[in-house]
Amino acid sequence: MAHTGDTRAILLGNGRATWYSVDEEGDAARFCTGDGDFHDAIKKEYGALNADPSLLTKTMAGISKLELECTR
């Protein structure tokens, strides 16, 4: 799978590590990773947050304004 954007490494636990990238453009973002289980977990959480506005608001309240806009 081709990916664009900043690629980062992440330790998933149990000695597993993978890469991921998020390419944001306008109102959309493309999430790519080398681990199918990690992809599925992110997709599930994305769906849960977008299905429940109060959960999304609560989750966003725990993240700094800078982190909401930047990954560095």
The parent domain of residue 58 ranges over 7-69
**Residue 65 domain-assigned?**
yes
The rounded distance, in Å, linking the Cα atoms of 72 and 19 is 16
- pLDDT tens string 5-45: 678 899 998 889 999 998 888 888 888 999 999 999 999 99
The pTM for the full model equals: 0.71
Q: Does some domain include residue 2? A: no
How many domains are contained in the chain?
1
Q: What is the DSSP string of 24-67?
A: EETTEEEEEES-HHHHHHHHHHHHHHHH-HHHHHHHHHTS-HHH
